[in-house]
Structure 1
Amino acid sequence: MASPSSLPARFPTEVYAHRLAAAAQAAAGAGLAGLVITPGYDLRYLVGSRAQTFERLTALVLPADGAPTIVVPRLELAALKESAVTELGVAVRDWVDGDDPYALVADALGGVGRAVAVTDSMPALHLLPLAEVLGVVPVLATDVLRTLRMVKDPAEIDALRKAGAAIDRVHARVPEFLVPGRTEADVAADIAEAIVAEGHSEVAFIIVGSGPHGADPHHECSDRELAAGDVVVVDIGGPYEPGYNSDSTRTYSIGDPDPEVARRYAVLQRAQQAAVAAVRPGVTAEQVDAAARDVLAAEGLAEAFVHRTGHGIGLSVHEEPYIVAGNSLALQEGMAFSVEPGIYFPGQWGARIEDIVIVTADGALSVNNRPHDLVVVPVG
């Protein structure tokens, strides 16, 4: 068993107490009897638990008008030790094989036949028997929890800023890895080591897209060797304790870029700046997307921008809000998301610039502060 000092980091207990109260209030406002949250990001958000989902049910039961209970297999009680459950005073109902854990959930909710919401990550092997015991088909808790998860509290903002600073330190080291003759995989291995060395708990993803591979936004890495003249897209990130993710993209040129590459990149840089400048409370997600897209369109590059402008970030690398056309969600102070327009020319090259920003009363606060220029890596 891990000692307290070796347990994963989490926020102070009062942060989780506030979240539980807010979630219960939101459930009541939605006319629900309560929430049933199985392991996943929602459970981690509410009580700091990193328990995993197995065939035996673990679930936080949060009534709209009562005290929370966690239902957990007795043989997995140790999984609660890294969470805030004990300090929060959450009742623990443990069970052994042969017991009916779904009946324990119903009892903790105050009976059957009442409207209940479940986390969207609940496995069907638990959802179906729970619905049978409750006598109702649960709805998703996404609408109840989405605003809580989207609007970051001060502790989360601090965690995101630390994650952003850590990934900035990695990007500062990337030029030394971009040596002609090395493969994308070689560079990715160095970056992976640097991500952990700079304070992340692990690597979430690494994209090293050189030359024509940079035109694939979701390329990872390959055995392609870097060469002088390559434009290289480097998109990297990972969780920083207590589990909040970094995600930042910079684009590099091995040697001086072709003049047309430099011209198009300068347009992309203006597009990214325009989108960041558009961020403020009350502006919609789609308006931020349009701010980037309009700059590119004015220069004939609309067709080269093939994805949304951004995605929310927190415990998950991709979460709401999504900065995309058609999303009329009004931004609120505390929301955090990427601003990452890109341009892609199949078979040739691509480029992307990405920062994580937090909505403040005055606009956007970027947690990433590396230069946005095309970074020229000297050759020879």
Structure 2
Amino acid sequence: MLGASQRRRTVIVMKPDLTQLYPPSRLARVREATAEAGLDALLLTPGPDLRYATGYDAIQLERLTCLVVPAHGEPFLVVPRLELAAAQASPAGALDVEMVPWEETDDPYALVARRLPAARAVGVADRMWAVMALRFQEAMPQARQVPAGRVMGRLRARKSPAEIAALREAGAAIDRVHRQVPALLKAGRTEREVGRDIAEAIVAEGHAKVDFVIVASGPNAASPHHELSDRVIGPGEPVVIDIGGTMPSGYCSDETRNYCIGEPPAAYTAYYQVLRRAQQAACRAVRPGVTPEQVDAAAREVIAEAGYGEFFIHRTGHGIGLETHEEPYIVAGNTRPLEPGMAFSVEPGIYPGEHGARIEDIVVCTEDGFESVNHVERDLIVVD
């Protein structure tokens, strides 16, 4: 349980500067990128792409809300009449964007089709519901659909100074949560009990919502995406704690640290030192011009040379921003060179079966290297 002093602790969260996070100029860049991609328009429904373009964190409903960004022409926001006030009150209301409300008996898909009569190729938001994509396909049979991520992913991958500041704020908040974990981890407690307390701390430390809490003890630590369970944590057991949330800014945190209840097993200590070196090697590899697959290889080579290669079963990292997982992905085959402002996790893992470990930091590629937004100790934390 959280102590009384922890429950009373109040964190003052500065309201993010939405004008800097979601600048009016961004929409023009989205339109330019749409034209450069050879598309006639982008169709962005509620989700991270819409928020990135306008700052509008719209509710995902069965009623269509869609920002239409023509390659040549002015963007417009199709919105249900009952959501019009919310759209106008959002940062989108301060943009020079026409808002087109529709009534309950209207067909909003036909409305969009009528305004894009010459469209032959459109990008649909990666998070658009399938039923909506199909409705657009019916309304615009002449228009080939492609993922809007081909345009939006590249724009979102390179963060602005304001976005990097938001990620630093998120990193500091999740650091504060990890510093509380040793007081919450005790032999005899269940993963679910510890996870509940961590979730409370994530919100208390300034997040708007909890995105995930992984408390993986003993053999469960060998499952990278383990769900909370009623397993009782025992003495001498390693525990992987992977946690993250979304800040009021819309930007996400994600950090993994490793703990052990008392003296760790000798086999675990041996490969944990390898993992520590691998994570350091991958971070040191980060700089402009290096490819994500080279960063992945830097971690993988250390682990393979030590004889644990078969137990490193996932990519080294993923981009982060308005989503916990977005471009760039740090994996073999990704040859797009890193650029200053790209933000992503560096999180190699080793999972032999009887236990496992993963060390994760969010790093930002700088002009000459990298910056980590996480600062909690990366060595194994032994809890008495």
Name the TM-score, length of structure 2 as normaliser: 0.92
Rounded Cα–Cα distance in structure 2 between residues aligned with 1:32 and 1:143: 10
Q: What SS does structure 1 have at the residue aligned with 2:24?
A: helix
Q: Name structure 1 gaps, 5 residues minimum.
A: 1-7
Choose from 240, 248, 251 the match for 2:258.
251
Rounded Cα–Cα distance in structure 2 between residues aligned with 1:27 and 1:49: 20
Give the CA deviation at 1:281.
0.8
Letter in 1 for 2:369: G
Instruction: Indicate the residue corresponding to 2:121 in structure 1.
Output: 115
Choose from 159, 171, 183 the match for 2:166.
159
Say if 2:111 is the partner of 1:92: no
Give the CA deviation at 1:86.
1.6
Choose from 362, 370, 374 the match for 2:376.
370
Instruction: Indicate the residue corresponding to 1:261 in structure 2.
Output: 268
Rounded Cα–Cα distance in structure 1 between residues aligned with 2:319 and 2:326: 5
Say if 2:357 is the partner of 1:357: no
Matches within 5 A, 1:1-380: 11-12=18-19, 15-109=22-116, 111-134=117-140, 135-346=142-353, 348-378=354-384
Rounded Cα–Cα distance in structure 2 between residues aligned with 1:230 and 1:136: 57
Task: Check whether the contact 1:293–1:305 (CA below 8 A) recurs between aligned residues.
Answer: yes
Letter in 2 for 1:106: A
Q: What is the total number of aligned residue pairs between the two structures?
A: 369
Q: What SS does structure 2 have at the residue aligned with 1:85?
A: helix
Q: What SS does structure 2 have at the residue aligned with 1:306?
A: coil
Task: Check whether the contact 1:70–1:93 (CA below 8 A) recurs between aligned residues.
Answer: yes
Task: Check whether the contact 2:22–2:55 (CA below 8 A) recurs between aligned residues.
Answer: no
Letter in 1 for 2:216: G
Rounded Cα–Cα distance in structure 2 between residues aligned with 1:98 and 1:183: 52
Rounded Cα–Cα distance in structure 1 between residues aligned with 2:252 and 2:48: 12
Rounded Cα–Cα distance in structure 1 between residues aligned with 2:227 and 2:211: 12
Q: What SS does structure 2 have at the residue aligned with 1:349?
A: coil
Q: CA RMSD in A?
A: 1.7
Rounded Cα–Cα distance in structure 2 between residues aligned with 1:124 and 1:321: 24
Letter in 2 for 1:335: M
Rounded Cα–Cα distance in structure 2 between residues aligned with 1:330 and 1:14: 24
Deviations 1:238-272 (A, max 9, x none): 00121111000000111122333222111110000
Q: What SS does structure 1 have at the residue aligned with 2:18?
A: coil
Q: Name structure 2 gaps, 5 residues minimum.
A: 1-14
Rounded Cα–Cα distance in structure 1 between residues aligned with 2:105 and 2:20: 34
Q: What SS does structure 2 have at the residue aligned with 1:253?
A: strand
Letter in 1 for 2:288: P
Give the CA deviation at 1:131.
2.8
Shift of the 314–13 alpha-carbon distance from structure 1 to 2, 3 Å rule, reads closer
